[in-house]
Structure 1
């Protein structure tokens, strides 16, 4: 493990492609923009007593990330928020 520094560019270009495979519960994110992305999953409304109902993933500029959603993030009506480093750009949708 090592820390990484995010130095924002100006102007920021948020551009990404998203693929969700419902059968496999996998997410693929292609960050083709020039800025860092935060992707937050929130499933706490459906599983109020579950500790693992939120997840946060980071995708650096120009990178590809593929991951399987943990059990607590699987289900209907999972809220997803995609944002840049300072939350000036936010995109919200439901899986």
Structure 2
């Protein structure tokens, strides 16, 4: 989906930048985690093994992308986009 929106993009610099952030530092900067219980809409959690993901009560089973981090619909499109399409079609 990101490719549709943004076109071809390698993102090497961004991938290196995100990979250099320690998970505990990243978690400290994510101040919205305490608001997760307020989410009531259908949700699909798409964590990568290279990032920290919050559990989302009531969400579908997480789709975990090996080696992925943020922006999985771009970096792991073949792996996660079918799950996104299924979620959207089920609620269209």
TM-score, length basis structure 1: 0.24
Which has a greater percent of strand? 1
Which has a greater percent of helix? 2
